[in-house]
Chains A and B, each alone.
Chain A
Amino acid sequence: MISCDVLEKPHAWRSVTVIAILAAAFAPALPLLWEVVSEGSSQSALDASFWAASFRSVAVATVVVAAALVLGVPTGVLAGLYDFPGRRPLLALLAIPLVIPSFLWAIGLSQFRIHVGLSSDGILSGFTGTVLAFLCWAISLVIYMTLVSARRLSKSQIEAARICGGERLVFSCATQALLPAAILAAALAGILTLADPGPGQILGYPGVAYEILLSFSASYDFALAAKQCAGLTGLVLILSIPVAVFIAPNVAVGLLGRDIVSVPLAKDNICAWAASLLLTFNVILAVILPLTGIVRPLFTGFPAERALQEVGRTVLNTFVYGLTAGVLAAVLGTILAIAVGREKTLRGSVVVAMFVILSLPPSLSALGIVKMGTLAPAWLDPVLRGRFTVGLASALKFLPVAAVLAMRSFGSTSPSQCLVAAIHGISVWRYVARILGPAILPSAGIACVVIALLATAEVGTALLLRPPGADSIPVQIFTVMANAPEALVAALCFMYVAGTAVLLMLGWSMTLEFRRHGRRI
C-alpha cells in the first residue's frame, strides 16, 4: 500500500511526472523543430525582417501589458471588493473577449472604424489599433485575475485596513497585495500577443507571428517557419524569465491559497460608483465597440434560417472539441498540480514552462500532430486524426490555465489533512478519491469550462486538425466569411457570442452553487 503522505513529501516521482506532462505539451512542436535540425531551410530565419517584426511585436506587447495593468488593476480591485447594480452582467460581458477569436475582434474594430468614418491612419488602425484589439482580451484577463485574487483576501485583512485608514487604505493595500497576480496575468496576455498574427495583420501592424504565418502560408517552408518559432520561443524565454524570477514566487505563494473567510462585497457609495464606472468603461472599450462592428450588418436583417442550419451542422463538433479539450486539460493540470505540490523550485519552473507553452504558435504544434498522424499506423487514427485530436492539441495548448487553477486549488488544502490520513493508514488512492479529489473537483470543473471556451475560440488548431466533415462553429465562421453575405457572417458571430455568454453564465451559476454548498474553489 502506498501511503497518502507521499503527496506531501519530496520524491522523485514529482519531477518525473512534471517532466512527462511538460514533454507531452511540447511534443507536438518537435516534428517541425526536428525538420530545422535535419533539413534546414534555404533561408536565414532570423534576418532583419524577423527582428523588425519582433521589435514591433514586443512594442505592442509592452504597451498592451502596461495599459492592461493601468486599466485592469483598479477595476479588478474595486469590482472584487464592492457591490454595485449591474456588477454580474458587466462581468459576464467582460468575459466575452476571452473566448472569441482575436481575428473577429480586430475585424469588428476595423468595421466600427469605417462605420464611424475615422481615418485609416487614425487611432483604430496601425499600432494603436493593434494594441486596442489585443487590449480587449488583455484587460479582461487582468480584471478577472485581479478580481479572483481579491476574493481570496481575508475579511479581517480588509477590515483591519478599513479601521486603520478607511476605503482609501483598503484600495491601496489590496492593490499592493494583488499586483503580482495582475502582473502575471498581464505578462501572459502580452506573451500571447506575440504568437497571434491576427489583429496586427488586419489593422496594419504585423508582428513576428505574421512572419511565421508568411513562412507557412506564402512560402510553404515548414523548416523556416519552425526556425522562426524557435526564435520566438527564445524571445519569450528571455522576457518571461524575469517575470518568473521576480513575480512567480509571490504569485506562487498566492497559488498556495489559504483557507480564509473571504471579504463580503461592500456597498460603499463612492467606491461602488467608481467600480461601476470603470467596469462600464472597460466593457464599452473591450466589448461593445468591436461587437458593434461585427453585428452591424444584422440591423438590415437576420438570416436566421441559414444561420441555424450552419449552427445545427457544427454545434455538436463545437461541443465535442471544447469539452474534450476542457476535460483533458483539467485532468492533466490536476495531475501536474499534485506533482508540483508545495515545492517552490518545481512551482517556479512550471510557471516558466507555462509561459513558453502559451507562446508557441498553434500552427507549429498542429502541423506537428498532422505529421505524427501521417507517420503513425492507422490504428492510432482515433487519437491522432479524429475529433479527439483537436481536443488533445487544444488541451496541451491551454494546459497552463488548468495547471494554475489546479495549483491554487491544491494549495488551499491543508497538508495536515494528508498527514492525519497517513497516520490512519489511508492509501494514496483512497485519499485522492475520498478527500483530495472532492476538494479540488470544483476548481477542475471551472477549469474545464474555461478551457472549453478558450479552445473553441482558437481556430488555427481546429482548422488544421479537424477530421473531414467535422467543422466547429468558429471554423465555419472563418471559412464562410470571405464571401458569405455579411449578414450571415454577423448572424453566426452573434449566435456564437450569445451561446458563449450563456455558457459563461452557467459556469458562474455553477460556481455560486458550489459555494452555497460550502465548497471552496
Chain B
Amino acid sequence: MAAGFELRSVSRVYDDFAALSDVSLRIEDGERLAIIGPSGCGKSTILRLLAGVDVPTGGQILLDGSVVSESGRVRLPPHRRGIAMVFQDLALWPNLSILANVKLGLAGHRLSSKEVDYRAAEALALCKIEAIADRRPAAISGGQQQRAALARALAGAPRFLFLDEPFSGLDLVTKAALLKDISRLVDARNVTLVLVTHDPLEATSLCHSAVLVDRGRIETSGRLEELLDQPKTELLRVFKHVMKGLMPE
C-alpha cells in the first residue's frame, strides 16, 4: 500500500471555470514538495482538495491507498486525515488568545486537558512565542502571527503539514528566520510538507521536489534542483534567475 497522498485525474470546476483539469500527483511520506505556479493557476485548490475542505468534481484522492475524496464527495473528513494547514491569511480566531488558538489545533485529538496544556506549551516553545501566549492576534506582529499559526498546526503532531503561501507580507529577515525554523521542525518531526508558493526562496529553502502548475494542469514535476538546473518553462527560468541574483556564485 502506497504511503501518502495520491491524486488520480482530479479536476475541479467552479460554475463554468475549470480550476483544475486532470491532475495526477503522488506525495509520499517524508516528502517536501513545493507546488509552484503563477497566481490563479490552481495551486491552493490542490491543497484544499488534499485537505478535504473542497470536493473534486472528477477523479479520486487517495490516502495510503484508500479513497478519501471522489467526484462530489468527501469520504474522509479533514480532521481525520492527519493534516494541519496554515492558510494564507493565517485564520487565527481573533476572539481567542494565542494559547487558545494553539489549543484549537488539538481539539480533534482525544487528550486530557493536562496533555493539551503540555502539547500547546511545547508548540509555543518550538515556535518561540511563549511570551505572547496570552495576547490576542490583533495585538502581535505579522511574524508572530505566522508563528502562532504554525504552532497551532504543529501542536497536533500532524503527519502532513500544508502551507498555503503563509509568508506573504513578511520582511526578508523574519521570513528567513521562519523558513529556517520550519525546516528544522519538519525534519525533527518527520512531517510531510506541501508548500504552495510562488517565491523561489521559500521553495528552495523548504522543499526538495516541486510540481509546476499552470492553468489548472501540471506542467512538470521532479526534484527542484533538477528542474532549476534545466528550466523548461518561463517560470522556472525566472526562478533560476532570481536564485542566481540572491545567491551569486
Complex contact flag A–B (Cβ < 8 Å)? yes
Q: Which residues 146-176 in A have Cβ within 8 Å of B in the complex?
A: 154, 156-157, 159-167, 169, 172-173, 176
B53 touches A159 (CB 8 A): yes
B172-195, CB < 8 A from A: none
| Partner of A166 from B78, B84, B94 at Cβ < 8 Å | B78
Assess the A157–B108 pair: CB atoms within 8 A: no
Query: Can you list 7 residue pairs at the A/B interface with Cβ under 8 Å?
Result: A154-B91, A156-B91, A157-B92, A159-B48, A164-B79, A166-B108, A180-B95
Residue of B89, B104, B108, B138 touching A156 (CB-CB under 8 A): B89
Known interface pairs A169-B107, A173-B104; A156-B93 also in contact (CB < 8 Å): no
Residues in B neighbouring A154, C-beta threshold 8 A: 89, 91
Residue ID in chain A nearest B48 by CB atoms = A159
B79 touches A157 (CB 8 A): no
- What separation, in Å, do the CA atoms of A162 and B106 have in the docked complex? 12
Interface string of B68-90 (1 = CB under 8 A from A): 00000000011110011101111
> Do B107 and A163 have beta carbons less than 8 Å apart?
no
Give 11 A-B pairs besides A157-B93, A162-B77 with Cβ atoms closer than 8 angstroms: A156-B89, A157-B92, A162-B78, A164-B104, A164-B107, A166-B78, A173-B93, A176-B96, A180-B95, A253-B94, A260-B89
Q: Which residues of A contact B93 (CB under 8 A)?
A: 157, 161, 173, 176-177
B89 in contact with A162 (CB, 8 Å): no
Of residues 227 through 280 on chain A, the ones whose CB sits less than 8 Å from some CB of chain B are 250, 253, 260
A169 neighbours in B (Cβ, 8 Å): 79, 104, 107-108
Q: How far is the CA of A260 from the CA of B138 in the complex (A)?
A: 15
Q: Is the CB of B53 within 8 A of A163?
A: yes
From B84, B88, B106, A163 is in contact (CB under 8 Å) with B84
Q: Whole-angstrom distance between the alpha carbons of A252 and B70 in the complex?
A: 43
| Chain A residue at smallest Cβ distance from B55 | A267
Docked Cα-Cα span, A154 to B91, in Å, equals: 8
Complex: A250 Cα to B138 Cα, angstroms: 12
> B83, A163: Cβ atoms under 8 Å?
yes
With A166-B78, A166-B108, A169-B108 as contacts: A160 and B87 at CB distance below 8 Å? yes
In the bound complex, what is the Cα–Cα distance between A163 and B108 (angstroms)? 8
State which size class the interface on A falls in. 20 to 34
Which of B53, B94, B96, B152 is the one whose CB lies under 8 Å from A162? B53
Decide: A166 and B87 in contact? CB cutoff 8 A: no
* A156, A160, A169: most-surrounded residue (chain B CB, <10 A): A160
Residues of B within 8 A of A (CB): 48, 51-53, 77-80, 83-85, 87-96, 104-108, 138, 152, 156
CA gap between A518 and B88 in the complex, in Å: 21
Measured CA separation A161–B96 after assembly (Å) = 13
Of A154, A156, A163, A177, chain B has the most CB atoms within 10 Å of the CB of: A163
Contact call A160/B85, Cβ cutoff below 8 A: yes
Residues of A within 8 A of B77 (CB): 162, 166-167
Residue in chain A with minimal CB distance to B162: A163
- Tell whether A166 pairs with B91 under 8 Å between CB atoms, given A159-B53, A161-B104, A173-B104: no
Residues in chain B near residue A180, CB distance under 8 A? 95
Report chain A residues within 8 Å CB of B156: 164
Smallest Cβ-Cβ distance to A250: which chain B residue: B95
- What residues of B have a CB within 8 angstroms of the CB of A260 in the complex? 89
Q: A153's closest neighbor in chain B, by CB?
A: B93
Q: Interface on chain B toward A: helix, strand, loop, or mixed SS?
A: loop
Q: B80: which A residues are within 8 A, CB to CB? A: 166
* B106 to A: closest C-beta gap in Å: 8
A residues with CB within 8 A of B: 154, 156-157, 159-167, 169, 172-173, 176-177, 180, 250, 253, 260
CB of A163 within 8 A of CB of B78, answer: yes
Consensus secondary structure, chain A interface: helix
Q: How far is the CB of B17 from chain A (nearest CB, A)?
A: 15
Which B residues are in CB contact (< 8 Å) with A163?
51-53, 78-79, 83-85
- Closest A residue by C-beta to B158: A163
On chain B, the residues within 8 Å of A162 by CB distance are: 53, 77-79
The answer to whether B79 touches A165 (Cβ under 8 A) is yes
Closest to B51 in A: A163
Q: How far is the CB of A110 from chain B (nearest CB, A)?
A: 42
- Given the complex of chains A and B, what is the CA–CA distance between A162 and B90 in angstroms? 14
Establish whether residues A164 and B108, one from each chain, have CB atoms under 8 Å apart when the complex forms. Answer: yes
| Residues in chain A near residue B88, CB distance under 8 A | 156
Identify which of B95, B105, B106, B138 contacts A177 (C-beta below 8 A): B95
Q: How far is the CA of A1 from the CA of B48 in the complex (A)?
A: 50
Say how far B122's CB is from chain A's closest CB, in angstroms. 17
Nearest-CB distance from A156 to chain B (Å)?
Answer: 4
Please indicate the chain B residues that have their CB under 8 angstroms from the CB of A161 in the complex: 93, 104, 107
Give the Cβ gap from B240 to chain A, nearest Cβ, in Å. Answer: 32
Tell me the minimal C-beta distance from A518 to chain B in angstroms. 15
For B89, list chain A residues within 8 Å (CB).
154, 156, 260
The 4 closest A-B pairs by CB, nearest first: A165-B107, A156-B91, A165-B108, A160-B91
The complex places the Cα of A166 from the Cα of B51 at a distance, in Å, of 12
A163-B84, A165-B107 known; A157 vs B95 contact (CB < 8 Å): no
Chain A residues with CB below 8 A from B84, complex form: 163-164
Assembled-state Cα–Cα distance A180/B95 (Å): 10
Hey, which chain A residues are within 8 Å of B85, CB to CB? 159-160, 163
Q: Which residue of B83, B92, B104 has the most chain A CB atoms within 10 A of its CB atom? A: B104
Point out which of A161, A164, A165, A176 has the most chain B C-beta atoms below 10 A from its C-beta: A164
Q: Across the interface, do A159 and B107 meet the contact criterion of CB distance under 8 Å? A: no
Chain A nearest CB: distance from B189 CB in Å? Answer: 17
A166 to B96, CA, bound (A): 18
State the Cβ distance, A83 to closest chain B Cβ, in Å: 14
Q: Do A164 and B105 touch (CB < 8 A)?
A: yes
Q: State the CA gap A187–B48 with chains docked (Å).
A: 40
Say how far B148's CB is from chain A's closest CB, in angstroms: 12
Q: A11 to B36, alpha carbons, bound, how many Å?
A: 48
What is the minimal beta-carbon distance from B184 to any residue of chain A, in angstroms? 23
Q: Which residues of A contact B138 (CB under 8 A)?
A: 253
- Residues on the A chain within 8 Å of B107, using CB: 161, 164-165, 169, 172
List of A residues within 8 angstroms of B53 by Cβ = 159, 162-163
What residues on B are CB-neighbors of A167 within 8 Å?
Answer: 77
Nearest Cβ distance between residue A268 and chain B, in whole angstroms?
Answer: 9
Least CB distance, A311 to chain B, in whole angstroms: 43
